[in-house]
Amino acid sequence: MNGVNTVVVGAQWGDEGKGKVIDFLTEDANVVVRCQGGDNAGHTVEVDGERFVVHLIPSGILRPEKQCVLGNGMVIDPTSLVREIKGLTARGIAPKGRLFISEAAHLVLPYHRQMDEQLESLRGKGKLGTTGRGVGPAYVDKANRTGLRVHDLLEPKELRHKLEERIEEKNRLLSFLGGKPVDSEEVVRSCCEAAEFLREMIVNTAIWLSEAIREGKDMLFESAQGTFLDIDFGTYPYVTSSNTTAGGAVTGTGVPPHRIDRVIGCLKAYTTRVGAGPMPVESAELSDLLHRNGREFGATTGRARRCGWFDGVMSRYACLINGFDELAITNLDGLDTLATIPVCVAYEWRGRRLSHPPTAAEHWQECVPIYKEYPGWLRPTSGVRRFGDLPDLAKRYLDALSELTGSPVGLISVGAGREQTFLVE
Ligand code: IMP
């Protein structure tokens, strides 16, 4: 234990392979902490050829001796959480005794999901493409000060009363919007059942974490989604409803800012996005290639992801906001068969050259990427296990990404397996 606290942040639009990077880094950590978001996230990790997808619980849970924390910045569907814990337990991974849930995290309840669905369908052409997990409406209730929190699960009588009150109000709203009302008795029953299952894992995680810091434990803070889905810095309104950037690790856990020692930015060697919103580097050619190879389908919704070339403008801005100490570059093997690889080095917007993205999504939508082409390495890299064994042209490509982002590359990944991740020597 060295008392080193590391934040891992997605530097694009989510799905950068953070789960996998966290899993790799967890080997040297004692505790893994989720800071924000809910089961809109989906982290895929392969261990000994077995595939695990976790949505709420940090992927660190897959290593038996590690402790995991769900921080106060999260929104948690208690029924989904119970399902996830039971699913892992059935596969020989026991979260009980190692998983700690913040009392102050907000609950995602069935009416939030209904509301998510209903509001999306009312948006028509202006759909955000949410994951439909009720995350946005749960954060609305949090900001509106009408949310229920995890600690409410601990008092069944008051919980019933609060739920009935909220459901009556939400059902009126749902009917008004043309949606399906939720069954109050059913919600109360499932919440009480989940509450009993989760009870012993619920604690004040801010106090728990300060104790862990005092003991000198090494901690990993896992930000879900990515920088450009951040509610403040992303392509608003095509964003999620929380702070997915490094600062979210502080507000979402109660750990003081000066206790964060390093920030790692996770990027794909290209760019992907799920859902609507601007994406100047989107490419039909790359989407076709990656989808044909069975890549880039969402872990949570199964939707085909939009794919595009590496965007240096975005990664530069992500570095500016998060202050990356180093980069983890994943999915390098996705580019193995390309003879030339375009990389976006700047945008052209209304006759001007931009090195940072514009704030308004409508302006971002108008940006035209300026590309520089790099020669492809035309060799499979998924079998590579050491940085030194990468083709020279792949190393040159990685140097270009590092230069554009303004941060050194520390970690590479060339496939889904744990053994396909290695450090830059
Ligand atoms: P929400 O978070 O479900 O409200 O969805 C808002 C936007 O964020 C949509 O474009 C989603 O596709 C996107 N999103 C949410 N979570 C993830 C994620 O874990 N990976 C990638 N995109 C996500």
Per-residue pLDDT reduced to its tens digit, 307-351: 999 999 999 999 999 999 999 999 999 999 999 999 999 999 999
Distance 354 CA to ligand 1 centre (A): 26
Per-residue model confidence (pLDDT) at position 299: 76
Q: What sign results for the dihedral spanned by CA atoms 182, 188, 193, 197? A: positive
Per-residue model confidence (pLDDT) at position 46: 82
Q: Are 312 and 346 in contact (CB under 8 A)?
A: yes
Q: Are residues 256 and 271 both part of a single domain?
A: no
Look at ligand 1, atom 9, and give the residue with the nearest C-alpha: 130
Q: Are residues 329 and 250 both part of a single domain?
A: no
Q: Is the bond leading into 280 cis (omega within 30 degrees of zero)? A: no
84, pLDDT greater than 90: yes
Question: What domain range is 321 assigned to?
Answer: 267-423
33, pLDDT greater than 80: yes
For residues 44 and 212, the model is more confident at: 212
When pLDDT is averaged across residues 93-106 and rounded to a whole number, the result is: 96
Distance 375 CA to ligand 1 centre (A): 33
Cβ(274) to ligand 1 under 6 A? yes
Q: Are residues 79 and 225 both part of a single domain?
A: yes
> Any catalytic annotation for residue 43?
yes
Q: Characterize the bridge pairing of strands 340-349 and 368-375.
A: antiparallel
Residue 75: closest CA among 95, 104, 96: 104
Of 236, 262, 288, which closes a domain? 262
Q: Are residues 169 and 86 both part of a single domain?
A: no
Q: Are residues 88 and 34 both part of a single domain?
A: yes
Percent of the chain topping pLDDT 70? 100
Look at ligand 1, atom 20, and give the residue with the nearest C-alpha: 14
Q: Are residues 405 and 291 both part of a single domain?
A: yes
Q: Which CATH number belongs to the domain containing residue 80 in this structure?
A: 3.40.440.10
Cβ(314) to ligand 1 under 6 A? no
Of 197, 221, 243, which closes a domain? 197
Please state, in angstroms and rounded to a whole number, the distance separating the CA atoms of residues 310 and 344: 6
Of 197, 220, 242, which closes a domain? 197
Determine the residue of 274, 301, 303, 305 to mutate for testing ligand 1's pocket, defined as the one with the most ligand atoms within 8 A of the Cβ atom. 274
Cβ(15) to ligand 1 under 6 A? yes
Q: Are residues 298 and 416 both part of a single domain?
A: yes
Q: Are residues 273 and 407 both part of a single domain?
A: yes
Q: How confident is the model at residue 298 (pLDDT cuts 50, 70, 90)?
A: confident
Q: Are 265 and 302 in contact (CB under 8 A)?
A: no
**Model pTM score:** 0.96
Cβ(147) to ligand 1 under 6 A? no
Per-residue pLDDT reduced to its tens digit, 218-264: 999 999 999 999 999 999 999 999 999 999 999 999 999 999 999 99
Residue 28 one-letter amino acid: D
Indicate which residue of 23, 39, 43, 106 is catalytic: 43
Q: How confident is the model at residue 49 (pLDDT cuts 50, 70, 90)?
A: confident
In terms of DSSP H, where are the helices of 255-390? 284-292, 312-322, 361-366
The total of structural domains in the chain comes to 3
Cβ-proximal residues to 78 (8 Å cutoff; 6+ apart), any chain? 107, 150, 153, 190, 191, 194, 195, 198
Cβ(266) to ligand 1 under 6 A? no
In which element (H, E) is residue 138 found?
helix 135-144
181, pLDDT greater than 80: yes
Alpha-carbon 209 to chain mean position: 21
Look at ligand 1, atom 16, and give the residue with the nearest C-alpha: 40
Q: Are residues 119 and 95 both part of a single domain?
A: no
Distance 360 CA to ligand 1 centre (A): 19
Q: Which CATH number belongs to the domain containing residue 355 in this structure?
A: 3.90.170.10
Per-residue model confidence (pLDDT) at position 45: 81
- The mean pLDDT value of the chain amounts to 96
When pLDDT is averaged across residues 206-220 and rounded to a whole number, the result is: 97
Q: Which CATH number belongs to the domain containing residue 115 in this structure?
A: 1.10.300.10
Per-residue model confidence (pLDDT) at position 48: 82
Q: Are residues 315 and 296 both part of a single domain?
A: yes
Q: Are residues 406 and 303 both part of a single domain?
A: yes
Cβ(138) to ligand 1 under 6 A? no
When pLDDT is averaged across residues 57-81 and rounded to a whole number, the result is: 95
Cβ(16) to ligand 1 under 6 A? no
Q: Are residues 127 and 175 both part of a single domain?
A: yes
